[in-house]
Amino acid sequence: MKSKTILEEAEKALLPIFSEIDAKVKQNLKKILSAFRLYRVGVHHFASVSGYGHDDLGRETLDKVFAKVMGAQTSIVRVQFVSGTHAITCALFGILRPGDEMLSVTGSPYDTLEEVIGLRGNYQGSLKEFNINYREMPLLDSGTLDWATLKTVISNNTRLVLIQRSCGYSWRKSLSIAEIKEIIAIIKRQNPNTVCFVDNCYGEFIETIEPTAVGADLIAGSLIKNPGGTLVTAGGYIAGQKELVEMAACRLTAPGIGTEGGATFNQNRLLFQGLFLAPQIVGEAVKGTHLIAYVFNKLGYPVNPLPLVPRQDVIQAIQLGSPEKLIAFCRAIQGCSPVGSYLDPVPATMPGYESQLVMAGGTFVDGSTSELSADGPLREPYIVFCQGGTHWTHISIALEATLEAII
């Protein structure tokens, strides 16, 4: 079957799902508009201050808007966060103290957190070096959460539980809000003082509420992923309980400064506008994941998630089975990118990752995964992870090219 025919079939079959996605986009946009109205966002909030960033009205208002949208007590939204990993790291070091235990209940964490925790590398500056203990609850062989073990795994010394919402670089099901709510309830029944921290990367605006609205004490993520709406040039966020957000902020800035510092470098308009556009951008990316899954499933490749199941993040994984196909796939995506289409992705090492990666990302913001990108570690079974996309029609065009390259 020709690639164009497969794509046409997929687009027709997915129209009802696309309509359901648009309905969620509308609900999330209503929530954002309501927060903008509540805090009377106006053009004066787009101005910025320099230096220490004291009394930045736009930044202070954005923190309130973001918290309202996330269903949190407060938030810190800063361009000073280098990445989502940096925001998560600030949260971990802000809350955990020597002798505390951190427990991951969703199996192994994302690659870039391994050196933060001290699972590999020279441990310099890691949680391990600060005598913070780490435990991990493995997933079942099926790639799902071990619910039975979860009911007994929390100890009196478990200060923080890490819940990774997205699959990351693993072949597992990403978590729904309903599942996160149940995980938190089980943890709190064992130890009410344990902090439930959700790595929210890739998951914002997939559903109509966020983890902080169902009991998560703290969440963190990147602004060049979902909530930046492809406009924000750098940064991250932390949202949740006021005391915990302040503790994390003191690791980003300094004790005594906390959330009061951080100049926004004339980025306020983009931060507000990116948030406004985020639900639409996420909706288009989610449509793209369904499209990619439908087509490659039709061709007999293992895909995760499956074509017609509801999404929990903007990542679509395809098991390609060989390094040649992984590289060919990424080359095709790069060739259909608006920026750097002439570049040739080649496997290379990247800071924070264990394996060599091949990455395609001809994005307007470097490294932005809210724009269409694809990458994968060069290790068996050679899975490519597709993320983002500003409009599903662009994803469809790029998908046609990848089919030609693979087939």
Provide the pLDDT confidence category of residue 110 given band limits of 50, 70 and 90: confident
Residue-wise burial string across 194-222, b where 16 or more C-beta atoms lie within 10 A, e elsewhere: bbbbbbbbbbbbbbbbbbbbbbbbbbbbb
In the predicted structure, residue 70 carries a pLDDT above the cut 80: yes
In the predicted structure, residue 353 carries a pLDDT above the cut 80: no
In the predicted structure, residue 348 carries a pLDDT above the cut 90: no
| pLDDT, tens digit (0-9, with 9 covering 90-100), for 113-161 | 999 999 988 889 999 999 999 999 999 988 899 999 999 999 999 999 9
| pLDDT, tens digit (0-9, with 9 covering 90-100), for 293-317 | 999 999 999 999 999 999 999 999 9
| pLDDT, tens digit (0-9, with 9 covering 90-100), for 47-59 | 988 999 999 999 9
Structure confidence at residue 78 (pLDDT):
98
CA distance 286 to 289: 5
Residue the block writes with tokens 């500003």: 390
Stated as kind and residue range, the H or E segment containing 196 is strand 195-199
Structure confidence at residue 352 (pLDDT):
66
> Could you tell me which CATH number the domain at 3-27+279-406 has?
3.90.1150.60
| pLDDT, tens digit (0-9, with 9 covering 90-100), for 333-345 | 999 999 999 999 9
User: How much of the chain exceeds pLDDT 70, in percent?
Assistant: 99
In the predicted structure, residue 8 carries a pLDDT above the cut 80: yes
Top-tier CATH class for 31-274: alpha beta
Give ∠ CA 323-328-330 in degrees, rounded to 5: 100
Type of residue found at 7: L
Provide the pLDDT confidence category of residue 171 given band limits of 50, 70 and 90: confident
Residue the block writes with tokens 């129209």: 15
CA distance 332 to 176: 31
Q: Do domains 3-27+279-406 and 31-274 have the same CATH topology?
A: no
In the predicted structure, residue 349 carries a pLDDT above the cut 90: no
Residue the block writes with tokens 């490294």: 367
In the predicted structure, residue 231 carries a pLDDT above the cut 90: yes
Structure confidence at residue 1 (pLDDT):
55
In the predicted structure, residue 82 carries a pLDDT above the cut 60: yes
- Residue spans per domain, the chain: 3-27+279-406, 31-274
Structure confidence at residue 351 (pLDDT):
74
Mean pLDDT over 164-187 rounds to 94
Cβ distance 375 to 112 under 8 Å?
A: no
